[in-house]
Amino acid sequence: MKTQQGNNLSPFGNQMENILQIVIVYSIITLTLETLPDLTLGQRHFFEISEIVCVSIFSVEYLFRLFKSNNKLKFVFSFMGVIDLISILPFYLNLGSGSRALRIIRLFRIFRLLKLARYNKAISRFQQAFTSVKEELVLFFLASFFLIYLVSVGIYYFENEAQPQAFQSIVHSFWWSVVTLTTVGYGDVYPITIGGKIFTFFVLMIGVGIITIPAGLIATAMMKTRNEDK
């Protein structure tokens, strides 16, 4: 696997790897702060310059990795190779322009977070636990989707006439179903008819469990993986 290989046969020394990790985190923080309103001109300049520095470092890193890899084409199309490119590309595409559409491209810099996958053992362990209950998770994802669909049809049937705006169609009813079954319950849409409330009662009694089961599955799987490690 590329990730694994990147850890062991890294073309950089340990020191360098740590510095790169810090640069990634730093660039994510500036990405976040850049979106703050009411920045002074000085602050904007600072963020622009720090962005140029970060991209320069990532570009050198990309070229160095490309240069060091035996199979150059394989690297370019490998998962981490693509991520490395996506992390710097928005900057080069964006040069000199400042329109809204282009500013949104900047958000793609978030992909730099995925560069951390190269360094982070914890994430790969997380992936392992996910993989071990993958079948069950897919099953529950499907079951949840199925349930949400059925509930949407049901609530559409009960509430469409009373609240034609919020429950315009089965597609619109999806929003209520998701917000209710995950127990978020913003309160922007809720049933007002007697039928809709009784329907919601049964849906909640049966459905809430289904959506929260995957969490229990992963928790049990992680404890088991942990016991086997020891």
The residues binding a copy of itself (CB under 8 A) are 28, 31-33, 35-37, 104, 107, 110, 113, 122-123, 125-126, 136, 138-139, 141-146, 149-150, 153, 156-157, 168-171, 174-175, 178-180, 182-188, 190, 197, 200-201, 204-205, 208-224, 226
Give residue for tokens 């949407």: 152
Nearer to a copy of itself, 12 or 119 (CB): 119
Q: How far is the CB of 2 from a copy of itself (least distance, A)?
A: 20
Contact 30, 47 (CB under 8 A): yes
Nearer to a copy of itself, 73 or 171 (CB): 171
Own/partner pairs, 81-88, CB within 8 angstroms, 24+ separation: 81/2, 83/111, 83/114, 83/115, 83/117, 84/58, 84/115, 86/111, 87/58, 87/111, 87/112, 87/115, 88/55, 88/58, 88/59, 88/62
Q: How far is the CB of 218 from a copy of itself (least distance, A)?
A: 5
Q: How far is the CB of 70 from a copy of itself (least distance, A)?
A: 32
Q: How far is the CB of 89 from a copy of itself (least distance, A)?
A: 17
Q: What is the CA radius of gyration of the chain?
A: 24
